[in-house]
Amino acid sequence: MMSQVELYTFCAVILLGMGMTGLILNQHIIRKIIALNIMGIGIFMLLISTAGVHSGAIDPVPHAMVLTGIVVAVAGSALALNLAARLKDMTEQADD
Amino acid sequence: MFKTDDVSAKPAHVFYKALIMVSMLAVTLSLLWVVLPAEVHSNAVAQKITQNMAQSGVLNPVTAVLLNFRSYDTLLEIVVLLVVAIACMPMHRGTVHTHEPVITSSSVHSLVALLVPLITLVAGYMLWVGAFAPGGAFQAGALLASCGLLIILSRKFTFEFHTLTARICLVMGLTIFVGVGIMSQQSGLFLQYPVESAAGLILFIESAATLSIAATLLVCYLALAQANVRSNAPSAIQPMMQPAKVEQEK
Amino acid sequence: MPIDSLLDHLLVFGILLFAASALLVSKLFSAIVLFISLGLIVSLVWIRLGAVDVAIAEAAIGAGVTGVMLLAAWKRLR
């Protein structure tokens, strides 16, 4: 139907849109973090699918950027989850 | 924010939800219209990289880009990891000393005893092979962190992050990276490795970074799994004994 | 349709299905498990696109460590 690059670019933009909608419309904090990670997966797919456009050697710079991006995304998710847990602890203590 | 989703749909809420969904659909369709037919990638940088691979000291182009041509980005990424580790560090000393293992099945118990040395071996291999095949420091660090997670979940063992050894592990990646960068300033700019020793320096930096990444991921998990003892929040690791400090403060 | 293109279309269909399910399903535990599976399918996509380093990193860090932290936080926030 489409070439490989076009197919994965399409998938990446759809993932981005789904992630944005999920981020705004969900209420629970863990669902928001899942939606944020899905947006991240979409952006990485966009970067890597366009890296293999030209035949010949695959461009390694988007691969390196996505590798950095995955590690920073997991660090950001960890920070967000820890902050949510501490916020819950503090508001629970305040309720007593 | 912590409650599960609200099932009742008031008319105003339905209108706003529909409005948000329509606008997100519009944004997605306009992105599709822009991105799909565009010429988004030029090959100039890739050709320069293949021409200069001999000077980088490694054979894998992704490792060369990560640790030689764009090593500044990797340095700042390790700074980000350190900042997250500091922010997530559990606040109370000696919060949970021992705990009940989460996985109690004995077959999983012995499987973990087999797996942990093998995973450590594979992590070391992944670190070494990053120079000439797909691999590298981040993958090796993640494998070591998964070793630590297996131990925490199936044994009465936990990592205490207020000791000096743990803090040295957390900081070592950044320190060695910046140290190598400053010491190789003699041949030019900051982080410009001399060409004949580039391979050895890259392996040295990657080893330190592996330890740091594994330590950071473990700190983030432990801060989530060990609850604050003063609150009654449920935690993934149930403490077997409460430390005496809690009774004195109540 | 050649088998490569069929595999690509199946992977993309699977990704969109799993992502939509992870955001829409009602139990939170199922959402987290679907997110971990999504990470593993995306790891296959990276191999299809020729990025093997990224595939190893996504399987270990993106699906593995993020999934474990989400489960620990889910237990903590109940």
Residues 6+ apart with CB under 8 A from C15: A11, A15, C38, C41, C42, C45
Domain count across chain A: 1
CA dihedral A75, A78, A79, A83 (to 10 degrees): 180
- Most B CBs within 10 A among C53, C54, C78, hence the mutation to make, goes to C53
In chain A, the residue whose alpha carbon lies closest to the alpha carbon of C68 is A78
Q: Say yes or no to pLDDT of B83 above 80.
A: yes
Query: Which chain C residues are within 8 Å of A10, Cβ to Cβ?
Result: 12
Q: Which domain holds residue B230?
A: 58-244
Using DSSP's 3-state secondary structure scheme, residue B90 falls into: coil
Domain count across chain C: 1
Contact C22 A29 (CB under 8 A): no
Would you list the DSSP string of B216-227? HHHHHHHHHHS-
Contact C76 B234 (CB under 8 A): yes
Contact A18 C49 (CB under 8 A): no
Among the listed ranges B10-24, B73-87, B110-124, B226-240, which one has the minimum average pLDDT value?
B226-240
Contact C73 B233 (CB under 8 A): no
Contact B149 C77 (CB under 8 A): no
Say what the pLDDT of residue B247 is: 37
CA dihedral A33, A40, B226, B109 (to 10 degrees): 120
- B186 min Cα distance to partner chain C (Å): 32
Q: Which domain holds residue C69?
A: 3-76
8 A C-beta contact, residue B81 and residue B213: yes
Say what the pLDDT of residue B157 is: 79
Which phi and psi angles does B119 have, rounded to 5°?
A: -65, -40
8 A C-beta contact, residue B140 and residue B210: yes
User: pTM of the entire structure?
Assistant: 0.90
Q: How far apart are CA A10 and CA A16, in angstroms?
A: 10
Say what the pLDDT of residue C18 is: 97
Per-residue pLDDT averaged across B228-232, rounded?
52
Q: How far apart are CA B81 and CA C2, in angstroms?
A: 44
Say what the pLDDT of residue B7 is: 54
Q: What is the CATH number of the domain that holds A77?
A: 1.10.287.3510
* Residues above pLDDT 90, as percent of chain C: 88
For the segment C28-57, what is each residue's pLDDT rounded down to a tens digit?
A: 999 999 999 999 999 999 999 999 999 999
Which phi and psi angles does C37 have, rounded to 5°?
A: -65, -40
User: In one letter, which amino acid is C1?
Assistant: M
Q: How far apart are CA A75 and CA C23, in angstroms?
A: 21
Residue B38 located in a structural domain: no
Kindly provide the residue ranges of all beta strands, DSSP E only, lying in A1-96, ordered along the sequence.
Answer: none
B188-193: long-range contacts, CB 8 A cutoff, minimum separation 24: B191/B71, B191/B72, B191/B75, B193/B57, B193/B68
Say what the pLDDT of residue B233 is: 59
* Residues above pLDDT 90, as percent of chain B: 50
Mean confidence (pLDDT) of chain C: 94
Q: Say yes or no to pLDDT of B95 above 60.
A: no
For the segment A63-74, what is each residue's pLDDT rounded down to a tens digit?
A: 999 999 999 999
| C-alpha dist (Å) from residue C31 to A28, A40, B70, B187, B247 | 12, 17, 37, 53, 39
Say what the pLDDT of residue B248 is: 38
Contact C57 B149 (CB under 8 A): no
For the segment B127-173, what is each residue's pLDDT rounded down to a tens digit?
A: 999 999 999 999 999 999 999 999 988 887 778 888 889 899 999 99
Say what the pLDDT of residue B159 is: 80
Q: How far apart are CA C54 and CA A53, in angstroms?
A: 17
- Most C CBs within 10 A among A67, A79, A89, hence the mutation to make, goes to A67
Q: Say yes or no to pLDDT of B57 above 60.
A: yes
Say what the pLDDT of residue B172 is: 94
Tell me how many helices (H) and strands (E) chain C has.
4, 0
Q: Which domain holds residue A31?
A: 4-95
For the segment B176-215, what is each residue's pLDDT rounded down to a tens digit?
A: 999 999 988 877 788 888 888 889 999 999 999 999 999 9
* Residues above pLDDT 90, as percent of chain A: 71
pLDDT band at A50 (very low <50, low <70, confident <90, very high): confident
Q: Does B138 touch chain C (CB under 8 A)?
A: yes
pLDDT band at B249 (very low <50, low <70, confident <90, very high): very low
Q: How far apart are CA A70 and CA A37, in angstroms?
A: 10
In chain A, the residue whose alpha carbon lies closest to the alpha carbon of C51 is A63
Domain count across chain B: 1
Contact A59 B224 (CB under 8 A): no
Interface chains of chain B (3 or more CB pairs under 8 Å): A, C
CA nearest to A2, candidates B29, C1, B40: C1
Q: Which residue has the higher pLDDT, B187 or A27?
A: A27
Say what the pLDDT of residue B180 is: 92
